[in-house]
Amino acid sequence: MTGTTSNLHAQSTGNYADINGLKMYYEVHGSGFPLVLIHGGGSTIETTFGRILPELAKSHQVIAVEMQAHGHTRDIDREMTFEQDADDIAALLKHLAITKADIFGFSNGASTTFHIVMRYPQLVNKIIIASTMYERAGAFPGFWEMMMNASFDGMPQPYKEAYLKIVPDQDALYAMYNRDVTRMQNFKDIPEKSIASIEVPALIICGDHDVNTVEHATKMFRTMKNAQLAIFPGGHGDYMGELTTLKPGQTTLAGLPVIRAFLDANRQ
Model confidence pLDDT, tens digit, residues 215-232 = 999 999 999 999 999 999
Nearest residue to 108 (alpha-carbon basis) of 21, 179, 24, 18 = 179
Residue 189 CA to residue 96 CA, distance in Å, equals 31
Our count of domains for the chain comes to 1
Q: Which domain holds residue 171?
A: 8-264
The set of residues, in sequence order, having a beta carbon less than 8 Å from that of 245 and lying 6+ positions away, is: 234, 235, 236, 237, 238
How far, in Å, are 15, 91, 117, 136, 141 from residue 128 at the CA level?
A: 24, 20, 11, 20, 24
Please tell me what DSSP assigns to residue 59.
T
Are 226 and 197 in contact, with CB atoms under 8 Å apart?
Answer: no
Q: In what order do the strands lie in the sheet with 202-207?
A: 13-19, 22-29, 60-66, 33-38, 101-106, 124-130, 202-207, 227-232
In a domain, 110, yes or no: yes
In a domain, 123, yes or no: yes
In a domain, 256, yes or no: yes
Per-residue pLDDT of the chain (268 residues; tens, 9 = 90+): 233 333 344 345 699 999 999 999 999 999 999 999 999 999 999 999 999 999 999 999 999 999 999 999 999 999 999 999 999 999 999 999 999 999 999 999 999 999 999 999 999 999 999 999 999 999 999 999 999 999 999 999 999 999 999 999 999 999 999 999 999 999 999 999 999 999 999 999 999 999 999 999 999 999 999 999 999 999 999 999 999 999 888 888 999 999 999 999 987 5
Q: What is the pLDDT of residues 141-173, one digit of tens each?
A: 999 999 999 999 999 999 999 999 999 999 999
Please tell me what DSSP assigns to residue 261.
H
> What pLDDT does residue 38 have?
98
In a domain, 3, yes or no: no
Nearest residue to 33 (alpha-carbon basis) of 105, 161, 124, 112 = 124
In a domain, 2, yes or no: no
Give the ranges where 99-189 is alpha helix by DSSP (H): 108-119, 143-148, 157-166, 170-185
CATH classification of the domain holding 43: 3.40.50.1820
| DSSP annotation string for 223-251 | HSTTEEEEEESSSTTGGGT-GGGPPTT--
In a domain, 115, yes or no: yes
The SS3 of residue 65 is: strand
Are 81 and 53 in contact, with CB atoms under 8 Å apart?
Answer: no
In a domain, 1, yes or no: no
In a domain, 181, yes or no: yes
Instruction: Estimate to the nearest angstrom the gap between the alpha carbon of 247 and the chain centroid.
Output: 20
Q: What angle do CA 101, 112, 36 make, to 5 degrees?
A: 30
